[in-house]
Amino acid sequence: MPTATISVLLLYVNPLLGEGLERLLAGETGLSVTARQLRCSATSLPTMDAEADVVIFEEGGPLGLEQLLEWTRSPVVIVMSLHTDKVRVLRLDDLRSHPGDVVDSIVAACLDRPGLTARVADAAGRLQ
């Protein structure tokens, strides 16, 4: 039975992070990895795959996170840096401006965080 392939676009500045992560991910079954080093502000985003399933982005280079978020249509952006041990995962959902949709998204995002789930669910009940 064929497995689904997840396309990953890796945008990095530092070769240590980028090339190492590219090699690590390339060994994973079901992932198709495209890596691009961001060398200068002249990097042209439209020539890259805006439709990747996941974008892994190294902060601190010529491309800002805001620019990336305006360009990409990927549902998940993973933000990392060699200067910190924190990795952020951004889920990009298209929402309508209806308050219920926003509350539902807040609740869904917090389901894996037990301390927040009860508070968010209580707040959601008050808003609806």
CA distance 61 to 83: 12
55 burial type by CB count under 10 A (0-12 exposed, 13-18 middle, 19+ buried): buried
pLDDT tens figures, 51-102: 889 999 998 888 888 888 888 888 888 999 888 888 888 877 666 666 677 7
Asked if pLDDT for residue 35 goes beyond 70, the answer is yes
The class that CATH gives domain 6-91 is alpha beta
pLDDT, greater one: 97 or 30: 30
| Cβ(34)–Cβ(10) below 8 Å | yes
CB atoms < 10 A from the CB of 63, how many? Answer: 19
- Going by C-alpha positions, the residue among 102, 89, 92 that lies closest to residue 71 is 92
pLDDT tens figures, 38-51: 876 555 565 666 78
Residue 23, pLDDT score:
94
Residue 25, pLDDT score:
94
Domain limits of the chain? 6-91, 95-128
pLDDT tens figures, 116-125: 545 545 555 5
Asked if pLDDT for residue 11 goes beyond 80, the answer is yes
pLDDT, greater one: 126 or 85: 85
